[in-house]
Amino acid sequence: MNNNRERETSSYLKILKADGEKFLKLMRQHARGKSILDPTRKVLREENHLLFPLKNDSPVLPLFLQKLEKAMLCQVVKRENVFADRPQFRTLKEAMEQVFPVPYMESLPRSYDIIGSIIIIEFDRIENIAPRDREWFKQEVTKFLIQKHGKVETVYEKAGKVEGTYRLRNLNLLLGKDASETLYKENGCFFKLDVKKTYFNPRLNHERKRIASLPYKRNELIVDLFAGVGPFSIQIAKNHEVTIHAFDINPVAHDYLKQNIQLNSLKGTVIPHHLNVKELILRKSSLGTALYHKIDRILMNLPEKSLEFMDVACFLIKKEGIIHDYQICERPHSVQEAIENLKIALVRNGCSLKKILNSRIVKHYSPKADLIAIDASIKSTIQDG
């Protein structure tokens, strides 16, 4: 750090320590989402006072100070700079305002995923950046993310859509080491996975928690048709004494599923299967025969194609049971469309809808479509024998 820069003075807001919480609350209420504090400098302490470093160029600072003076004792004072070892920017936007010209700010990624020691980011508005500046733009964003998230060692850029039988996406290394295997923690469970060789969506963490928190009968028999590395199955079995048959067609995902079963302490039992679940309904399938009309509950987390596997679900489900179906449907009536799709698919495969237990938008999937979750009680209309 430049010593002359350290000795320079800047503006600080001096308040009583006892008013610290009140100040932060007022700032959130009245600063209208704009930062009035300088994240590159530390908050100072003087006896019974706190000194917050001010951003003098903040457009909302003058009006905020007027309001603050009516609420508490405060004073703007000059002090020597004490810079933070790592600037405490709250958001990517806040940090990049110090780096990029205003027109480039519209091209910042709107979100990114953190999976263990890996960040995966998408630059889907890069066309607004001059071609000669695009690599610099990406590197500046990436350097900040690694600095902000201390445990991150690798940043990948999305380089294509999720596609193929295994639902994989091409990733390009932006910064760090090219190590695509990581250990990820979610809702108290650990998952080892390879982000290049398996499908995993961390944005479903709340949905997985919801499903794992539902009431389950003791010894309930469950099938997870598209288990991947096990995030649904393992979280359910961690909380409930159930038996889950977890299937995946990807041999790499299946191997990680087996490892993740061992990584976690489970109340229930997860039985991993490397299999295309369509094979369960073939006459030669001994496993399919053993599970025929024995299953209490079925998870169908393959939103692009779940309805194509309704024949498997209706083959496995008991006379009455529960399915958790995921679909991608267009707005504005995405939930209603998903329910109608489910009704039609059930009837075509020898089942009927008894009751919708829950239906919801899990998240926006694209500008025009939503990811929909439906929890449904269904009945088999097939007469045995």
The pair of three-digit structure tokens given for residue 72, joined into one six-digit string: 């508490």
Half-sphere exposure of 78 (CA within 13 A, CB side): 4
For 159-178, how does the pLDDT look when each residue is reduced to its tens digit (9 = 90+)? 999 999 999 999 999 999 99
Domains and CATH numbers, the chain: 3-80 (3.30.70.2580), 92-179 (3.30.300.110), 201-380 (3.40.50.150)
- DSSP class of residue 131 equals G
Stretch 15-36: mean pLDDT: 82
The pair of three-digit structure tokens given for residue 168, joined into one six-digit string: 């994989």
Using CA atoms, how far apart are residues 383 and 138, in angstroms rounded to an integer? 60
Band (27; pLDDT cuts 50, 70, 90)? confident
pLDDT of residue 379: 97
Beta bridge partners of 53: 12
Residue 378 pLDDT greater than 60, yes or no: yes
Q: Which residue has the tokens 């020597």?
A: 80
Band (148; pLDDT cuts 50, 70, 90)? confident
pLDDT of residue 1: 42
In Å, how far are 5, 43, 300, 305 from 62, measured between CA atoms?
A: 25, 20, 55, 55
For 266-299, how does the pLDDT look when each residue is reduced to its tens digit (9 = 90+)? 999 999 999 999 999 999 999 999 999 999 999 9
**Residue 138, φ and ψ in degrees, nearest 5:** -65, -40
Residue pair 83/1 in contact (Cβ under 8 Å)? The answer is yes
For 68-101, how does the pLDDT look when each residue is reduced to its tens digit (9 = 90+)? 999 999 999 999 988 876 656 778 887 787 678 7
Q: Which residue has the tokens 């024998």?
A: 385
Beta bridge partners of 10: 79
- Whole-prediction pTM: 0.79
pLDDT of residue 345: 98
**Residue 97, φ and ψ in degrees, nearest 5:** -60, -25
**Residue 381, φ and ψ in degrees, nearest 5:** -105, 5
For 210-239, how does the pLDDT look when each residue is reduced to its tens digit (9 = 90+)? 999 999 999 999 999 999 999 999 999 999
Determine the residue type at 365. Answer: Y
Half-sphere exposure of 221 (CA within 13 A, CB side): 12
The pair of three-digit structure tokens given for residue 132, joined into one six-digit string: 């000669």
Instruction: Report the relative pairing of strands 221-224 and 243-248 from DSSP bridges.
Output: parallel
The pair of three-digit structure tokens given for residue 47, joined into one six-digit string: 């006896």
Average pLDDT, the chain: 92
Residues in CB range of 26: below 8 A, 6 or more apart? 67, 68, 71
The residue count of the chain comes to 385
What is the CA 357 to chain-centroid distance, rounded?
24
